[in-house]
Chain A
Amino acid sequence: MCWHCQSEVGGEYFCKRCVKVQPLSPDLDYFTCMKLPRILQIDEKALEETFYELSRTFHPDFYTTRDESEKAISLGNTALLNAAYRTLKDPFQRVEYLIRLEAGSAKDIRSAPPADLFEEILELQEDLETYRTVNPAEDPETANQLRAKLQASREHLESRLEELESALFERFRRWDELQGQSGHDGIDPRPQKDALLREMQDLLSHRTYVRNIIQDLADTLG
């Protein structure tokens, strides 16, 4: 219902009768807001085009002469739009958002942590600590040895990060396939989807740990 003239509105951006701008529903998910299907390999060009189009529709600059209610709606819609665009543009934020949408909360599908990875990280962090305290002028040999070891670990972790990301993108493809078949063949794709969401959540957390340690290595090694 239009906030101004109380006539019917069903998701239009402007009331047909009084032409006042309408607030986007706070329940609107980012995919719907950006007119995209709930898939992971999105058409990035289409996303950008929708973003520009809707920005032109709602931007506060176009509402400076309107009344306070319309100014507030323009601001609120623009804020939602910016958040939606920023989230969907980045593939990692996009999948995290999708998992939250699909699972209610991404935390519900938290699963077994990668124990061996933790061991590896702890060991590396300890080497890093030692390296920070070694004075290269006094003990160049230890410093050089440690540096070489840490450098090798860094390269190894960087290729691991790449592997994790391609594994994640492979699941993007499988998710989109499942979304495409939904309901066609009479098989409920839900269990498959949930399994896929869990796998993606695992890969995402794994990636966070690996990225953190790479960052720490980069900070110290330069």
Chain B
Amino acid sequence: MAYSDKVIDHYNNPRNVGSFRKDEEGVGTGIVGAPECGDVMKLQIKVENDTIVDAKFKTFGCGSAIASSSLATEWLKGKTLEEASKIKNTDIVQELNLPPVKIHCSVLAEDAIKAALNDYKKKTEATKQDKEQPATTSS
């Protein structure tokens, strides 16, 4: 079974490899794993005014997992949070021509996007609360 040209391209020239500092403002981090193969993926988004201005990933796993997350970061850039939440693993499967045994890699990328979005939401809500509540409240 051969990888598609697109997978090989993303594997050889992965886009947006790297990471942001987790505590940086506007950064959402998603770390997920695939229990089937033990691959681990980290995907981060940088958000300004509800729009994703930058995205980075680090994936330790097979070519398809790397390609799926590389593609995901390309797609995320410029999207609003709302649009980003609509990216489906099937879109990735289609774009990369993934064979059935590698579909879980695209699921992993979708999970990573969702985790990063959730993390961003949680973070912004927490800072909002901090700002709204006076410092006298103790937890």
Whether B60 lies near A122 (C-beta < 8 A) is: yes
* Overall SS of chain B's interface: strand
Is the C-beta of A41 less than 8 angstroms from some C-beta in chain B? no
Stretch at the interface among B8-16, B31-39, B80-88: B31-39
Residue in A115, A122, A126, A211 whose beta carbon sits within 8 Å of that of B38 in the complex: A211
- Chain A minimum-CB-distance residue to B39: A212
Segment with Cβ contacts to B, from A15-23, A43-51, A137-145, A202-210: A202-210
In the complex, whether B40 has a CB less than 8 A from a CB of chain A is: yes
A115 touches B31 (CB 8 A): yes
CB distance from A212 to the nearest CB of B (A): 4
How far is A114 from B40 in the complex, measured between Cα atoms in Å?
Answer: 11
B7-47 vs A, CB cutoff 8 Å, 1 = contact: the mask equals 00000000000000000000000011101111110100000
A215 to chain B, nearest CB (A): 9
Report whether B35 and A118 are in contact in the complex, using a CB–CB cutoff of 8 Å: no
Cα–Cα distance between A77 and B20 once the two chains are bound (Å): 56
Give the docked Cα–Cα distance between A119 and B29 (Å). Answer: 11
B35, B36, B37, B40: residue with the most chain A Cβ atoms closer than 10 Å: B35
Contact B38 A212 (CB under 8 A): yes
Is residue A104 within 8 Å, beta carbon to beta carbon, of the partner chain? no
State which residues 65-105 of B face A: CB under 8 Å.
Answer: none
> In the bound complex, how far is the Cα of B36 from the Cα of A201, in angstroms?
11
Let me know if B6 is at the binding interface, CB within 8 A. no
Cβ of A118 and Cβ of B31 under 8 Å apart? yes
List A contacts of B58 (CB < 8 A): 122, 125-126
Residues of A within 8 A of B37 (CB): 208, 212
Beyond A122-B58, A125-B60, whether A209 also contacts B31 by CB under 8 A is no
Q: How many A residues have CB within 8 A of the partner chain?
A: 19
CA distance A29 to B95 in the complex (A): 38
Interface residues of A in 72-100 (CB under 8 A from B): none
Do the beta carbons of B40 and A121 come within 8 Å of each other? yes
Q: Is the CB of B31 within 8 A of A122?
A: yes
Bound-complex Cα distance A212 to B84 (A): 31
> Given A121-B60, A122-B60, A125-B60, is A205 in contact with B35 using a C-beta cutoff of 8 Å?
yes
- Please measure, in the bound complex, the distance between the C-alpha atom of A126 and the C-alpha atom of B38, giving whole angstroms: 16
Q: Does A113 contact B (CB under 8 A)?
A: yes
In the bound complex, CA of A208 to CA of B39 (Å): 9
Show 18 A/B contacts (Cβ-Cβ < 8 Å), sorted by A.
A114-B33, A118-B32, A118-B40, A122-B40, A122-B42, A122-B58, A122-B60, A125-B58, A204-B35, A205-B38, A208-B35, A208-B38, A209-B35, A209-B38, A209-B40, A212-B37, A212-B38, A213-B38
Starting from the known contacts A113-B35, A122-B60, A125-B60, 12 additional A-B residue pairs (CB-CB under 8 Å) come to A113-B33, A115-B31, A118-B42, A121-B40, A125-B58, A205-B33, A208-B38, A209-B35, A211-B38, A212-B38, A213-B38, A216-B60
